[in-house]
Amino acid sequence: MSKDFILPDIGEGIVECEVVEWLVAEGDTVVEDQPVCDVMTDKALVQIPAISDGVVSKLYYQKGEIAKVHEPLFALSSASEGQQESTPVQAVTEQVLDSTPETSEPVAVEVSSNAGVEDFLLPDIGEGIVECELVEWLVEEGDEVKEDQPICDVMTDKALVQIPAKSDGVVEKLYYAKGEIAIVHKPLFAIAVKGAATQAPVASIASKPAATVQAETVASSSATNTQSKGKRKAVASPAVRRLAREMNIDICDVNGSGTKGRVYKEDLHAHKQGGQQPTQAVTANAPVEAASATTRVEPIKGVKAAMAKAMQESVSTIPHFTYSDEIDLTALVALRKKLKPEYEKQGIKLTMMPFFMKAMSMAIKQFPIMNSQPNAECTELTYFDDHNIGMAVDSKVGLLVPNIKSCQTKSIKQIAQDVMEMTDKAREGRLSPDQLKGGTISISNIGALGGTTATPIINKPEVAIVALGKMQTLPRFDAEGNVEARQIMNVSWSGDHRIIDGGTIARFNSLWTKYLEDPTSMIMDMV
Q: Reply yes or no on whether the pLDDT at 283 is more than 50.
A: no
CA 247 to chain centre: 26
Candidate ranges 5-19, 212-226, 229-243, 434-448; pick with highest mean pLDDT: 434-448
- Per-residue pLDDT tens over the stretch 450-469: 889 999 999 999 999 999 99
Mean pLDDT of 296-310: 79
Report d(CA 11, CA 388) in Å as an integer. Answer: 20
Backbone CA torsion sign across 236, 238, 240, 245: positive
Would you say 17 and 10 are in contact if contact means Cβ atoms under 8 Å apart? yes
Instruction: Give the residue ranges of DSSP H helices in 259-403.
Output: 265-272, 302-317, 330-345, 353-364
Query: What is 2-77's CATH topology?
Result: OB fold (Dihydrolipoamide Acetyltransferase, E2P) (2.40.50)
- Domain layout of the chain by residue ranges: 2-77, 110-200, 238-285+294-299, 303-526
β-pairing verdict for 187-193 and 169-174: antiparallel
Sheet with 16-22, side-by-side order of all strands: 45-49, 35-40, 16-22, 66-68
Q: Do domains 110-200 and 238-285+294-299 have the same CATH topology?
A: no
Q: How confident is the model at residue 33 (pLDDT cuts 50, 70, 90)?
A: confident
Candidate ranges 106-110, 147-151, 238-242, 339-343; pick with highest mean pLDDT: 339-343
Backbone angles phi, psi at 10, to 5 degrees: -120, 15
Q: How confident is the model at residue 196 (pLDDT cuts 50, 70, 90)?
A: low
CATH number of 303-526: 3.30.559.10
Mean pLDDT of 177-182: 88
More reliable by pLDDT, 85 or 188: 188
Candidate ranges 106-115, 131-140, 292-301, 340-349; pick with highest mean pLDDT: 340-349
Question: What pLDDT score was predicted for residue 97?
Answer: 38
Report d(CA 32, CA 52) in Å as an integer. Answer: 4
Mean pLDDT of 296-321: 85
Q: How confident is the model at residue 226 (pLDDT cuts 50, 70, 90)?
A: very low
Backbone angles phi, psi at 250, to 5 degrees: -75, 110
Q: Reply yes or no on whether the pLDDT at 382 is more than 80.
A: yes
Task: State which CATH number among 3.40.50.150, 2.170.140.10, 4.10.320.10, 1.10.3720.10 fits the domain covering 238-285+294-299.
Answer: 4.10.320.10
Burial of 205 (0-12, 13-18, 19+ CB in 10 A): middle
Calculate what percentage of the chain has a pLDDT beyond 70.
76
More reliable by pLDDT, 5 or 328: 328
**Choice among 151-165, 169-183, 404-418 with the minimum mean pLDDT:** 151-165
Question: What pLDDT score was predicted for residue 275?
Answer: 53
Chain-wide mean pLDDT for the chain? Answer: 79
Q: How confident is the model at residue 107 (pLDDT cuts 50, 70, 90)?
A: very low
Q: How many residues in total does the chain contain?
A: 527
Q: In a 3-state reduction of DSSP, which class is residue 436?
A: helix
Hey, what CATH class is 110-200 in?
Answer: mainly beta
Q: How confident is the model at residue 260 (pLDDT cuts 50, 70, 90)?
A: low
Question: What pLDDT score was predicted for residue 296?
Answer: 82
Name the residues annotated as catalytic.
Answer: 497, 501
Report d(CA 492, CA 483) in Å as an integer. Answer: 26
Which residues, at least 6 apart from 172, have a Cβ–Cβ distance to it below 8 Å? 114, 117, 141, 189, 190, 191, 192
